[in-house]
């Protein structure tokens, strides 16, 4: 059986979510904004996200659910980035960075779930 066509796209998305890339971005607000935009554009260009017919019928519901969660988490990631940029106190900045890291881990888990379908 051949691999579903979306697998490589999920791997590329997962690579864009790779933590080492983000560590530097979390230090520099303009770099963070650019990194979030890059991931969102990458996600948006993949047409398979709105087409569950790329997976077997019995997996389509799970596929759709994961894609909805990825979409939601990417929107929240963007908001987290804005909150970090506007944070003035060091404690708040640390909290926002931790929140972004947690969201990146969650997004990677969703990518892993798609890869295992």
Tell me the mean pLDDT in the region 25-45: 88
What pTM was estimated for this model as a whole? 0.87
pLDDT digits (tens, 9 = 90+) for 50-109: 665 556 777 888 888 999 999 999 999 999 999 999 999 999 999 999 999 999 999 999
Query: What are the sequence ranges of the domains in the chain?
Result: 6-115
Please report, in angstroms and rounded to a whole number, the separation of the first and last CA atoms in the chain.
Answer: 13
- The secondary structure of residue 51, as a DSSP letter, is -
């Amino acid at each position: 059986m051949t691999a579903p066509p979306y697998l490589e796209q999920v791997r590329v998305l997962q690579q864009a979510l790779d933590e080492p890339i983000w560590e530097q971005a979390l230090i520099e607000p303009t770099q963070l904004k650019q990194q979030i935009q890059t991931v969102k554009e990458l996600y948006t260009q993949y047409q398979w996200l709105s087409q569950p017919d790329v997976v077997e019928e019995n997996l389509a519901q799970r596929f759709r659910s994961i894609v909805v969660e990825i979409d939601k988490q990417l929107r929240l990631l963007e908001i987290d980035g804005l909150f970090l940029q506007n944070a003035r106190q060091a404690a708040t900045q640390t909290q926002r960075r931790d929140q972004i890291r947690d969201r990146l881990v969650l997004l990677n888990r969703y990518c892993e779930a798609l890869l295992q379908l």
